[in-house]
Amino acid sequence: MIGDSVYYIALSWAAVQTGTPSQAGVVMAVSAVPRAVLMLGGGVIADRFGPRRVVIISDTVRCAAVLAVAGLLFLTGPGLWPLALLALVFGTVDAVFLPAVGALPARVTSRGQLARVQGMRGLGIRFASVVGGPLGGLAVAVGGAAAAFTFAGLLIAVSVPLLISVRLRELPAGAATREGAGAADGAVDGAEGTGVSGAGCGGAGGSGGADAGTAGGGERVVGGGGGRVVRGRVVGRGRGAGAAGGGRVMGEGSGRVVRRGGAAGRNQVAGEGGRRVVRRGDRVGAVADSGERVVGEAGGGALGPGGAAWQDLVVGLRYIRRHRVLAPLMLAIALGDLGFVGPLNVGLTLLADERGWGASGMGWVLAGFGVGAGAASLLLAVRGRVPHAGHVMVYACLGGAVAIGALAFVPGVLAAVGVALLIGLLAGLSGALCGALLQTQADPAYLGRVTAVASLVSLGFAPLSMPLSAAAIGAWGTGPVFVVSAVVCGLGGLVALCARNLRRAELPT
């Protein structure tokens, strides 16, 4: 993260020194566009090939690209085309790197530690923002843009062996579902199914030859291609017998469970309107029509029909949309970012200019915000778990919205610093809890795509509020715009408050 901060300072400085301000703006935008456009595809890649592999490869490419441009600038005079090309490559690789980084924590630690990891990540981001800026400025002052790019490339290079040293934790059977992960060996189809659950992965039944056996839940499975419905549940159809690992499959009479040999937990699961979700590997994740999960780990996540990347994306988006916690959480994150990014970036600059606080006053206000946000991350890193996380996140979001609206009406710099500290504390706490809930609620097989959607909102859509905020402040002043932004943030809190499952969500112990 420090290397990224130095890189962006070097890129902006080199672009300004080489071309006009408008050309420099184009160079910076070249990096943002592919990152936003390709982010969802990056999530699919992270889930298909595994987050560790994707992070290592993408980080290596970023390092090589930055060092290549640094070498070019040492050998030749600066030009806009290598800067634009670097920005394009860096933004494209970032679209893959960011979702993979988001999916990595669930594979390196237990679910009970994910909230603490989220807090530590927040502390790392704050530290990088504080240290990276001065280091980047110092590198530019000492050796120009070429030296700054070299320094950034070396910092990124240090991270590559550290990432290689990371070892992934094997996900246990049933790690991604509250009721276990045993699914039938074969396929589970159910256009009207109400969910699939189980309590084992291996199964305890015989390997074939019998005409009948016991399915999970104690229902009778008729072999030899037969099948029957018992009390509204599709019990089975297919050949073989045996217990299905303690799992059960519920349907409305139109689904079927194919048991091959009575074993449980390998091959395919399908549940959305009869569509089949193909699996690769031992254990895999999917979502049934009710939003219940059939989960585990496949080397490439939960795949769409035929393994097509587009179908992988569709399956992932459907998983988010039908998830009782992730769906409202994504909407709350989107509204919170849209209401927060504008006022706390361009809006704060215009407010400081309007009130005569000057650059130093604005710096103190930003420092107050940073201290508050850092304190929230530290709290989560130390405690590891916040009781009643859903409720705390909701009320922190609502309180932060009120503080954002009040910032435009404070009488002086000192009061503004206090309000900014409160905003940082509440927004940092709600943001950290949103990230922790996202990590703990999402099935690891989908985390790349889930992180991609969340990152797209924060890095793709939310920055659009900055020019809108600037234009609105020019037309109506800071007060009304800050109030409207506070209302948008508050709507995110209200969405979370009205979503029962999100409101009652807890972090694992």
3-state secondary structure of 212: strand
The yes-or-no verdict on residue 289 having pLDDT over 80 is: no
Average pLDDT estimate for 324-349: 87
Going along 334-448, which residue ranges are E strands? none
Quick count: other Cβ atoms within 10 Å of Cβ 271? 28
Tokens 């009061």 sit at which residue? 415
Smallest CA-to-CA distance from 278 within 244, 41, 286, 247 is with 286
SS3 239: strand
The pLDDT value given to residue 205 = 34
Report the pLDDT value the prediction gives residue 184, as an integer from 0 to 100: 31
Tens digits of residue pLDDT in 125-136? 888 877 887 888
Residue of 210 and 344 predicted with greater confidence: 344
pLDDT band at 274 (very low <50, low <70, confident <90, very high): very low
Q: What is the pTM of this model?
A: 0.69
User: Could you give the CA distance from residue 85 to residue 73 in angstroms, rounded to a whole number?
Assistant: 13
Q: Give yes or no for residue 170 having a pLDDT over 60.
A: yes
Q: Which of 153, 149, 130, 129 is nearest to 139 (CA)?
A: 149
What are φ and ψ of residue 386, in 5° steps? -110, 120
- The model's pLDDT over 185-236, given as tens digits with 9 standing for 90+, comes to 333 333 333 333 333 333 333 333 333 333 333 333 333 344 433 333 333 4
- Judge whether residue 78 has pLDDT over 80: no
Residue 168 confidence (pLDDT) above 50: yes
CB 7 within 8 A of CB 149: yes
Buried/exposed code over 210-223 (b: 16+ C-beta within 10 A; e: otherwise) = beebbbbbebebbb
Percent helix, percent strand, percent coil in the chain, to nearest 5: 65, 10, 25
Token code pair at residue 40: 């969802």
Which residue in 279, 264, 294, 272 sits closest to 175, CA to CA?
Answer: 294
Instruction: Among 28-32, 210-214, 322-326, name the one with the lowest average pLDDT.
Output: 210-214
C-beta separation of 193 from 255 below 8 A: yes
How far apart are alpha carbons 336 and 347 in whole angstroms? 16
Reduced to 3 states (helix: H, G, I; strand: E, B; else coil), residue 244 is coil
Cα 469 to Cα 480: distance, rounded to the nearest angstrom: 10
Residue 152: enclosing H or E segment and its boundaries? Answer: helix 114-164
* Contacts of 59-63 spanning 24+ positions with Cβ under 8 A: 59/97, 59/156, 59/159, 59/160, 59/163, 60/160, 61/89, 61/93, 62/89, 62/90, 62/93, 62/94, 62/97, 62/156, 63/153, 63/156, 63/157, 63/160
pLDDT confidence tier of residue 396, bands split at 50, 70 and 90: very high
Which of 98, 110, 283 has its CA nearest to residue 182? 283
